[in-house]
A and B are shown apart, each in its own frame.
Chain A
Amino acid sequence: MAASTFQETTSTATAGSGRNLVVVDNLVMHFPLTQGIIFQRQVGAVRAVDGISFFVEKGETLGLVGESGCGKSTTGRALLQLYEPTGGSVRFDGTELTTLKGESLRKMRRRMQMIFQDPYASLNPRMTVGDIIGEPIEVHHLAAGRKKQDRVQELLKVVGLNPYFTNRYPHEFSGGQRQRIGVARALAVEPDFIVCDEPISALDVSIRAQIVNLLEELQGKFNLTYLFIAHDLSVVRHISDRVAVMYLGKIVELADRKELYDHPLHPYTQALLSAVPIPDPKIEAKRRRIILTGDVPSPVNPPSGCRFHTRCWKAQKICSEVDPEFIEHSARHWAACHFPG
């Protein structure tokens, strides 16, 4: 099949059935670096997210994986307009978010929520659980007074907590319980879309499965769409319908889960997958790891051409000169590599 660019595909996809809830086009998020004692001047920028495009279909879970510092969390936050993106566009159910301001943006926030990585930092220590979960309900005029309290108790029940915990403070709970409070807070406004920013990374291994199962259960119950950010490939494989792989501010590969895990096209994806242990000693013994040499280059001054060429065993001259385009190599399988496969 003829290779088409990502933009062509997404534009036809949105024009057609409208099954895409979120369409991100060439999103850029740079953080300025300044220098100077009295007068600050910009000397550069951390190019945390440097022109990425993807879409999230209604009701699916899109996994977003990559090493620490590759821009996954920044992508999630810029997408929800918690940062003001430097460039590009984010369309949510047909509405352009990047140009929304003030009241209209606040109204949109009801439909998109976030679950944070660190359940200890993401709950205001000075507020009761009832206030934490009840506040968004009140702000968006969904319920008030007695009704609001009923709703808070119902939400606590939904996430598997005792509904009579409303007067307690966050410090009285364990990490797993706190993360459930975070989930209840996100659910409070009945959103369509939730960005899960490494929601289980900070939790005990024994608690992780509980939270993942809770998220899956809630997705079915409330018809939620997830962007699931993680660096744990086995969890992403478990929960995602499709997976996007990020490297140094770029998405290098995007495909359906099975396709990506069975036929990774990008060398970086191949290296990541080769690092996942297999829970079968016989196969595990035969597993061949691709060991990447060197460190992740600085996002302040990323390599020319393909950003991965400094660590890639397939790299040739063209890789350091031309940034490879993000191309659909087979149906719904995009990759940005000069030598895929």
Chain B
Amino acid sequence: MGRFILRRLLQGIPTLFGVTLISFALWRFSPGDPVSRLVFGAQNVTAEEIAALRHFYGLDQSLPEQYLSWLGRIAHLDFGQSFLYHRPVTDMIMSALPNTLQLALVSLTIALVIGIPLGVIAARSRGSFIDQVVRVFGVAGHAIPSFWFGYLFILVFAVQFGLFPVGGMLTIGKSELDVADRLRHLVGPAIALSLAGIANYSRLMRTETLDILGQDFIRAAQAKGLRPRTVLYVHALRNALLPIITALGGLLAVLVSGSLVIEQVFAWPGMGRMIYEAAVSKDYPIVMAAVFISGFLLVISYIARDIAYGVADPRVRR
């Protein structure tokens, strides 16, 4: 197992270099270099001053040199300055990331805790009314756009009934440590974000469980004289949960880059909203940092998935 993990980690390194190359290229080949942006519209800028600025940003070096020095800087977690806010990108990410993680982890937990049992219950009583409801929900949950659901939630529960706030993370003026207030702000975006997850996991779990329950080894487990519960939880679920691990594979990256749409709808001060605003206002250092970080986390989460798979499925371990 140790060798397996080590090998997967080593295999991740070239992928990671690919990710840095792409984020670098994204920056360098996008229209307008930082200096021409900076001096845009300025009347009395001399050529010497522009040259000095280009030297300051390192743009007078060759592309490979620039790439290497950029690599060196991100190795120290220095992603440069935001063009728009003139603040270190690393600081901005560090303040937005916890908010995003909070929202993402809550909605993921909701999706798994509701989705998986729902799928198992539907499979166990196939053809029943519950099964029909789960199946219809499985389609509807996918088809309903999360932003539409988000606005509907705001319209009904925030505007009409005033039960929940319209957006944001905290009521202005309230203490940072007011947990009840934070939770009230969390309800809307968390539900909107978990909707697709619930639909996805319940559908996946239903199909998988049904498939496994039809297998001979389940009949063999029954014939052994095991309790029906043991057959379901030990023999069937251990096999049916594998695809959920696969589905969770790319999740870490999604969690961190946040939900672009939902954070926008609920004015949630997270990574998603930050990236969205940066992209709209061509704030490349932030976009680049975001691409690199989500690429990095994607690689990490695939490795984590493979390891989890190796633990769960003896056939993968080699």
Interfacial residues, chain A to chain B (CB-CB below 8 A): 34, 38, 40, 77, 80, 82, 106-107, 109-110, 113-114, 116-118, 121-126, 128, 135-136, 139-140, 169, 171, 182, 185, 189
Contact = CB atoms under 8 A, between A and B. Distances in A.
Given A121-B216, A125-B239, A126-B239, A169 B314 contact: yes
A139 B235 CA distance: 14
A185 B223 CA distance: 10
Given A124-B239, A169-B315, A182-B220, 10 more contacts: A106-B225, A107-B225, A109-B223, A121-B217, A122-B219, A123-B220, A125-B315, A171-B315, A189-B224, A189-B225
Contacts of B227: 106
B2 interface: no
Contacts of B16: none
4 residue pairs, one from A and one from B, having the closest CB atoms: A109-B225, A122-B216, A136-B224, A121-B216
B226 interface: yes
B220 A122 contact: yes
Nearest to A135: B224
15 contacts: A82-B222, A82-B223, A106-B226, A114-B219, A114-B220, A114-B223, A116-B219, A118-B216, A123-B217, A125-B313, A125-B314, A126-B312, A126-B314, A128-B314, A140-B225
A3 to B, nearest CB: 38
A106 to B, nearest CB: 4
Contacts of A182: 220
B219 A77 contact: yes
B224 A109 contact: yes
B136 to A, nearest CB: 8
Nearest to A182: B220
Q: Summarize A's interface: helix, strand, loop or mixed.
A: loop
B31 interface: no
Contacts of B238: 124, 126
Q: Size range of the interface on B? A: 20 to 34
Nearest to A111: B225
Given A106-B225, A122-B220, A185-B220, A34 B127 contact: yes
Contacts of A116: 216, 219-220
B219 A136 contact: no
A266 B219 CA distance: 34
Nearest to A40: B127
B223 A124 contact: no
Nearest to B127: A40
A122 B212 CA distance: 11
Interface in B106-149: 127, 132
Nearest to A137: B224
Nearest to A197: B216
A91 B152 CA distance: 62
Nearest to B242: A126
B215 A121 contact: yes
Nearest to A188: B224
- Looking at A107, A116, A118, which has the most chain B CB atoms within 10 Å of its CB? A116
Contacts of A82: 219, 222-223
Nearest to A126: B238
Contacts of A135: 221, 224, 226
Contacts of A123: 217, 220
A178 to B, nearest CB: 11
Nearest to A136: B224
